[in-house]
Amino acid sequence: MKKNVVLLGPPGAGKGTLAQRLASELGYLHLSTGDVLRDEVARGTELGRLAKEYMDKGELVPDEVILSMVKEHVGDRRGVLFDGFPRTLAQAEGLAGIAPVDVVVYLEIGRDEVVRRLSARRVCPKCGAVYNLVTQPPKEDERCDRCGEALVQRRDDTPEVISRRFEVYLRDSAPLVKYYEEKGILVRVDAARSPEEVLADVLRALRNDCP
C-alpha cells in the first residue's frame, strides 16, 4: 500500500529535489505547498496576492489558508509526498484530519550549508527544474538543460530572506521533529550529502515497514 510521507527539514535541505525523485521512483504525488503558492502568485490569483506578502519576507502564510489549499489538493489520495508542509504544530494537527501520515523523513543539515546552497540555487521559470551553480550546474551557462530558458534566482533566495526563513524554521517548524518522534514515525537522514546518497537512504527507509 502506498504511504503518505512528510518531508521535514530546513529550507535548503533538499526536500524539493528529493520529492521529485521519490515521486518518479514510486509513482507518488509530490505536493509542495511552496510550488503551489508560487504558481498562485504567478497566475495573480487572490490567494497568490495574499501569499506573496508573506513569502517575499520569508514569513509563513497563515495556517488556515495552507490547510484548505492542502485539503483541496489531497482529496482522498494515498501516496502523497508532503514537501514544505506541515510547517507548524497547528498544520500538523490539521493534517491529521485530512490524511494519515505514515512516515516522516527528517532531513538534517546545518545552517551554514543551507545558506551556501540557497545562495547558489537557480530555477527555471518555465519548467521548474532546480539547479545549483556549485553542486548541480546546468550544462550551458545559466540556461535550463531541459528547455533552454534563462535560469533565475527565487525572490526569497536573497541573504536577508534566507536568514529570516531559517529563523522561522527554528521557531515554528523545528518542534515538529519532537512531535513526530513521539508518534514513533520519524526517520532521520543526513541531508548534507549528494542527492543520490540521500535518495538511496530514504528509499531504504520507506521499504522497511517500521521506520
What is the contact surface with Zn ion in residues (CB under 5 A)? 124, 126-127, 129, 144, 146-147, 149
- From candidates 66, 98, 103, 123, binder to ligand ADP by CB under 6 A: 66
Q: 122 catalytic, yes or no?
A: no
Nine-digit cell at 154?
Answer: 527565487
Among 21, 52, 87, 117, the active-site one is 87
> Phi and psi of 35, rounded to 5°?
-65, -40
Determine whether 160 is exposed, middle or buried from the number of CB atoms within 10 Å of its CB (0-12, 13-18, 19+).
Answer: exposed
33 binds ligand ADP (CB under 6 A): yes
CB of 17 vs ligand ADP, minimal distance in Å:
11
Is 132:117 a contact under the CB 8 Å cutoff?
yes
Residues 50, 52, 56: CA angle, nearest 5 degrees: 145
CB nearer to ligand ADP: give 105 or 139.
105
21 binds ligand ADP (CB under 6 A): no
Is 12:114 a contact under the CB 8 Å cutoff?
yes
How far are the Cα atoms of 11, 41, 115, 140, 163 from residue 111, in angstroms, in the given order? 9, 28, 6, 30, 9
Q: How far apart are CA 22 and CA 205, in angstroms?
A: 12
Q: For residue 43, what is the DSSP state?
A: H
61 binds ligand ADP (CB under 6 A): yes
Residue 136 neighbours by CB distance under 10 Å: 17
- From candidates 58, 105, 106, 117, binder to ligand ADP by CB under 6 A: 58
94 binds ligand ADP (CB under 6 A): no
CB of 65 vs ligand ADP, minimal distance in Å:
8
11 binds ligand ADP (CB under 6 A): yes
* Binding track, positions 165-204, relative to ligand ADP; x by CB under 6 A: x---------------------------------------
Catalytic (active-site) positions? 15, 87, 121, 154, 165
**Binding stretches for ligand ADP (CB under 6 A):** 11-12, 33-34, 37, 54-55, 58-61, 66, 84-85, 87, 91, 156, 165
